Structure 1
Amino acid sequence: MIGQDGKSSKTNRKRQHQKTTHFDEAGIFMKTNLYLAISFNMSASMRVLPRSALRTSRLTQSLARRPFHSYDHPPPPGAFGNAEKSILAAAYKHVPEHGFSQKALSCGARDAGYLDISASVIPDGAFGLIRYHLITQREALATRSQELFPDPNQPGVSARVEALTWERLMGNKLVLDRWQEALAVMAQPSYVPESIKELAKLSDEIWFLAGDKAVDPSWYTKRATLSMIYSTSELFMTNDRSPDFFETRQFLQRRLGEVKSVGGMVGSFGQWAGYTLSAGVNILRSKGVRV
């Protein structure tokens, strides 16, 4: 009996270790989808709608309010004033050591030639520094796309979407050890609307730079789908210790491949959420979890 109990205990510990592996796709996949669903609901208006239209309408309203790309109008003004930008740029260099924090902002103000107290003029404090990272990394994609795709006809839109999404993920490398802290700040209720807005802008930028010219309802679906895929991959990357983030690249490719296997970009955000939930349940079952 003692030998059998010892063997059983060893087996249980092995199973428990498998369930808590760093690359727990099921946990990342489902938690991120739940976070996004809650976040989209918080950032949208709370009008009473039929249950079948509720989630799709909220997402559509959120995305519809963002600016669209145009070649016929001048670009909008910069997101930061001169003093604010100089402080944030200097503070950003201190993020690896101090994180997205007031300490980093104070160091940045000093480096930029201002008094330490000057950091208090940054709206939202630490979140302002996070927002600086999100905006500058998104804006950098335009230049990188020209380097990645010198031939305007090659590769196709899908390949460009994958390449640009990966390029944006790589923009987190220098602050990756601090990114889970940033995600925690972005998940605070007061910052969720702005975080979702930036995520929508990123998805739109990637599709635009990839050459997508669709003007039908799929415009919204593609951006909502890519937002979910990007967020899931970004969270996965914070736990990735593989060389050159090989596991994250595979994770991203699988998620994009799953969308295609459903039949192109799915017809609605509700369909996609349902599909990803089903996939997450199947992954949990494959790990021996009763669902």
Structure 2
Amino acid sequence: MSRLAAQKLVQRRLLAPSLNCTRAYHPIAKDYVAPVTIAPLTYTTDSLQSKLLDHCLAHNVPKYGFKESAISESIKELGFSPSLISVLGASNSPSFVHSSPAVLELIKYHLVTKRHALTKDIPQENIDHNNGLPSLEELLIKRLQMDIPVGGQLTDLFAQLSVPSQYLMETALPELFNLADDMIYFSSERDHFDMAWYTKRLGVAFTYATSKLFMSQDTSPNFEKTMEFAHDKLHNVMKLGDYYNNAEEFAWYTLMVSVNLVKSQLARK
């Protein structure tokens, strides 16, 4: 099944009938709606994991950051068993900067669900006829605005994402490129089917990444300067073909963050 088809199937699973309900003796479609996942997540949108991480992102990440304490606080507030945190990120390898698998799962959930929410309401017929689609800039700005509630925690987020690791290669970078692919596919931007396909997605990916980096240091009201920066950066990449400089800037920043983060961890020992 294609990723687009899977996205169309994402919906809340219907609640199972109670014991007092009478079940029909003939097949009814809603009785057989299977739970679905949003790849690369491995649990359904109505699972305990999703409920916990949704609550954590909305209520505790803005206060505590992308840390285990934010997850623990949500577990307490929701009345879940404390043992849930030990299995939450079982599929993730621990980070050498002491980010637990559960924290890495929280970050993954944030990236994946925001990417999905960005385009889930765009009708398929609009895509088929290339009619009524948002512009690439509109999708870029919308995605940045989704992070305003956690804007004060973006430095912490990037510090964990930028560390060279298995998580960076298998989760962070693939999600960045999936986001760029979605923004182009679901926008009115003309697509290409040659080498321009790769360069355009690389340019959009790093436009988003550098805009997010700018956002982590932005103190303007409602991140207005970030939105202006994103507009200018996208124009330079898409109209002037500034792919190389954009990628170079991001790579250099990633290197410096990684070096400084390792130094800070060594200094604590």
TM-score, scaled to structure 1: 0.60
2:6 and 2:106 mapped to 1: Cα distance?
A: 32
Verify: 1:77 aligned to 2:42, yes or no.
Answer: no
Greater fraction of residues in helix = 1
Q: How does 1:20-35 map to 2 (within 5 A)?
A: none
C-alpha contact 1:89 1:108 (8 A) present in aligned 2: no
- TM-superposed CA distance for 1:244, in Å, is 3.0
Supply the distance in 1 between the matched residues of 2:160 and 2:245 (Cα, whole angstroms).
27
The answer to whether the aligner puts 1:166 opposite 2:141 as a matched pair is yes
1:219 aligns with 2:184: no
Partner of 1:112: 78
Q: Describe how 1:83-232 pairs up with structure 2 within 5 A.
A: 83-92=48-57, 93-123=59-89, 124-143=101-120, 145=122, 153-154=131-132, 160-190=135-165, 191-193=167-169, 194-211=171-188, 212-232=190-210
Larger Rg: 1
Could you tell me how far apart the structure 2 residues matched to 1:245 and 1:216 are?
36
Residues 275 and 206 from structure 1, CA distance in 2 versus in 1: closer, same or farther, beyond 3 angstroms?
closer
Secondary structure in 2 matching 1:241: coil
Q: SS where residue 217 of structure 2 aligns? A: coil
Structure 1 pair 213/261, CA: closer, same or farther in 2 (3 Å)?
A: closer
In 1, Cα distance between equivalents of 2:237 and 2:110: 28
For this pair of structures, how many residues does the alignment match?
200
Tell me, in whole angstroms, the C-alpha distance in 2 between the residues paired with 1:109 and 1:72: 30
Deviation by residue 1:63-108 (Cα, 9 ceiling, x = unmatched): xxxx964459986733242232122122222111111111111122
Q: Secondary structure at the match of 2:135?
A: helix
SS in 2 for 1:125: helix
Q: Residues 165 and 206 of structure 1 are in contact (CA less than 8 Å); yes or no, is this contact kept in structure 2?
A: yes
RMSD of Structure 2 on Structure 1 (CA):
3.0
Conserved? CA contact 1:162–1:253, under 8 Å: yes
Q: Structure 1: 5+ residue runs without aligned partners?
A: 1-66, 279-291
Higher relative contact order (CA 8 A, sep 6+): 1
* Paired residues of 2:88 and 2:105 also in contact (CA < 8 A): yes
Q: Deviations over 1:127-175 (max 9, x none)?
A: 11111111111111114656xx9x96357xxx71100000000011101
| Consecutive unaligned residues in structure 2, runs of 5 or more | 10-35, 90-100, 250-269
